[in-house]
Structure 1
Amino acid sequence: MTGTVPPAVLGTDRLELGEGIRWTDGRAVLTDILSGRLLAASDGPADPHRLIAQLPCPLGAVAPVEGHPGHWVAAAGTGICRIDPSGGVDWIARPEDDAPMAIRMNDGVADPHGRFWAGSMAYDTTEDAGSLYRLDRDGRLTRVLRDITIPNGPAFSADGAVMYLADSARGIIRRYPVDPASGDPGTPETFATLADGSPDGMTTDSEGGLWTAVWGTGQVHRYLPDGSLDRIVDLPAGQPAGLCLGGPDGRTLLVTSAHIGLSVPGPLDGAVFAIRVDVPGTPAAPYRPTRLPGRADTP
């Protein structure tokens, strides 16, 4: 089914590379990756997004830190950091500092068990240069997957036992079993392969459906748990990038987009969109540390 109701536009901003949108604490937050900005999305079309923090490096995605209002764990620069309420940055780990090419962090999310996951990629999208990392609750960072070109997501089932990860450059979404105790992913299976465009940001809903922004097509797709395509939503922007389900009832699909790389961006390329849907999602899971990570953990 293809969506026919025009999406609402939130905010006057047109983002270079809008990503990492999450519904948390009654609002949507998002990143403009290459400018290093963490933003609170506008509620309507007439006001700009509000700046929460400005980092001196690219900022891929954040998750709130449970029990510490105003603190965020973030995929940023060459690793993982904590952002405090004043916008200060404490680095937890920078595993890509010594990479043989320029690498930055990309998308990331907390899982239902309180761990934070984030992917890395080469600036020039060198094949298989990216990795997926997991930040455990005790502050340890582990590289769990290698040889991914552009990792996006991940997204998790409600119980955290299933992880979906997009290998965007290959047009593939893979599904992994995840051990609930260790967080280690098992052997993947191909969940969906896209003939056009690249799967980008993802989220799951209460029926186990998987939503993904499809970069390069101006579309968002919803897949059923068996991998079949259930719904297509058309957007007036060619490069949808990130998405989440939010709003007071969880039934608002919020989608970021980008104008990077477009020689003549359209008026809504880089906008944030809101679309009403039937199946709700849940607020963003928080990172739940056993202790607050930060400067003491800097290598």
Structure 2
Amino acid sequence: MSPHHSVPEVGTVFSPLATDRLELGEGVRLLSDGRIVLVDILTGRLLALPTARDTPLILLAQLDEPLGAVAPLDTGKGFLAAAGTGFTRLTEYGAPSRRTSLADLVGSPPRRMNDAVCDARGRMWAGSMAYDAAPGAGALHRLDRDGTTVTVLKDLTVPNGPAFSPDGTTMYLADSALGTVDSYRVDPSTGTLSDRRRTFSLSPGSGSPDGMTVDDQGRLWSAVWGAGEIRCYSPDGRLLLTVGVPARQPTSVCLTGTQLIVTTARYGMDRPGPLDGAVLAASCAVTAPPTAAAAR
């Protein structure tokens, strides 16, 4: 078994990292300065983990529109966000009212931006979806370094991810509504996608792939909404590990080198459990790069 296909080790005990319970926690990211940030999508909040577990999350920004995900700006001040119906620049940490809208991409039926991430060249890739998750109403968009926006994939439903391989030549993208994760070859210089392949798919009733990340060995980690699981796959789609999470709707994952951090959601639950909506962590020595910065 090659190193890229080795089975990682993850602790079996998850505990909350803050006192909050989020409606739709998502987009957990490790920054280059060691901080961990995440979003509560439908409330438009950008949050950071506190230094002490029994304290609330730290509010960094509050938008009056859904906030799908963020990437730090390469200037070191502020974030680029997939928010509302396009891309928004948050110009300073902790200054939510000072923002500049860059592009409005989506229209009728009512849609919003969902998960997003930057590649190593500083381009942001972001999914959009209908509020009612109408089939085929989703898309994947790319904001290039020069500010140009391109819709690169259409006819999706609930795009999640994307996530990039360590060398930047493979992109993984989930369509949560279909239970699928596909890989694409990426031209790093242009961002052009090609050679679409099915990495893995989940059968109906076994959960939906949600937020993803790729570790330093190229293994793909996916939150599985509805199944209370995190799954780890080899680059060719072989299931290496399934980890149970004490929340039914895990939404995104982050690897820090000491912990596996998982966001979860209470959205749509009549009777959420005590850890539904919590930000959870278990011990894990697997490493991954900090989230890539946006070139702005």
TM tier, smaller: over 0.9
CA offsets 1:31-62 (integer angstroms, 9 cap, x no match) = 00000000001234300000000000000000
Kept in 2: contact 1:3–1:232 (CA 8 A): no
- Does 2:212 correspond to 1:179? no
Deviation at 1:8, TM superposition (A): 2.4
Once the two structures are aligned, what percentage of the paired residues are identical? 50
- Does 2:91 correspond to 1:70? no
Q: TM-score, normalised by structure 2?
A: 0.93
| Structure-1 residue corresponding to 2:274 | 267
AA in 2 matched with 1:6: V
Kept in 1: contact 2:11–2:284 (CA 8 A): no
Deviation at 1:9, TM superposition (A): 1.2
Kept in 2: contact 1:31–1:61 (CA 8 A): yes
AA in 1 matched with 2:130: A
CA offsets 1:137-183 (integer angstroms, 9 cap, x no match) = 11111100001000000000112110000011000000000011110
Q: 1:89 aligns with which of 89, 99, 104?
A: 99
Q: 2:159 aligns with which of 139, 148, 151?
A: 151
- Residue correspondences, number: 283
| Structure-1 residue corresponding to 2:221 | 211
CA offsets 1:220-268 (integer angstroms, 9 cap, x no match) = 000011211111111110000011112xxx3421110000100000010
| Structure-2 residue corresponding to 1:285 | 292
Kept in 2: contact 1:251–1:281 (CA 8 A): no
| Structure-1 residue corresponding to 2:24 | 17
Query: Structure 1: how far apart are the matches of 2:53 and 2:13?
Result: 14
Deviation at 1:122, TM superposition (A): 0.3
- Does 2:249 correspond to 1:239? yes
Kept in 2: contact 1:126–1:149 (CA 8 A): yes
Q: 2:240 aligns with which of 198, 214, 230?
A: 230
Deviation at 1:194, TM superposition (A): 1.2
In structure 1, stretches of 5+ residues that fail to align are 290-299
AA in 1 matched with 2:265: A
Q: Matched residue of 1:188: which SS?
A: strand
AA in 2 matched with 1:176: Y
AA in 2 matched with 1:76: A
Query: Structure 1: how far apart are the matches of 2:227 and 2:282?
Result: 17
Query: Structure 2: how far apart are the matches of 1:280 and 1:42?
Result: 21
| Structure-2 residue corresponding to 1:103 | 111
AA in 1 matched with 2:287: P
Query: Structure 1: how far apart are the matches of 2:236 and 2:90?
Result: 38
Query: Structure 2: how far apart are the matches of 1:207 and 1:279?
Result: 9
Kept in 2: contact 1:79–1:94 (CA 8 A): yes
Query: Structure 1: how far apart are the matches of 2:152 and 2:240?
Result: 31
Give the ranges of 4+ consecutive aligned residues of structure 1 lying more than 3 Å apart after TM superposition: 1-4
AA in 2 matched with 1:255: V
- Does 2:283 correspond to 1:276? yes
Kept in 2: contact 1:11–1:46 (CA 8 A): yes
Q: 1:201 aligns with which of 204, 211, 216?
A: 211
Query: Structure 1: how far apart are the matches of 2:172 and 2:69?
Result: 17
Query: Structure 2: how far apart are the matches of 1:244 and 1:3?
Result: 13
Kept in 2: contact 1:11–1:43 (CA 8 A): no
| Structure-2 residue corresponding to 1:255 | 262
Kept in 2: contact 1:9–1:44 (CA 8 A): no
Kept in 1: contact 2:249–2:276 (CA 8 A): yes
Kept in 1: contact 2:251–2:262 (CA 8 A): yes
Q: Matched residue of 1:34: which SS?
A: helix
Q: 1:169 aligns with which of 171, 177, 195?
A: 177
Query: Structure 2: how far apart are the matches of 1:40 and 1:228?
Result: 33
Query: Structure 2: how far apart are the matches of 1:4 and 1:276?
Result: 5
Kept in 2: contact 1:59–1:77 (CA 8 A): yes
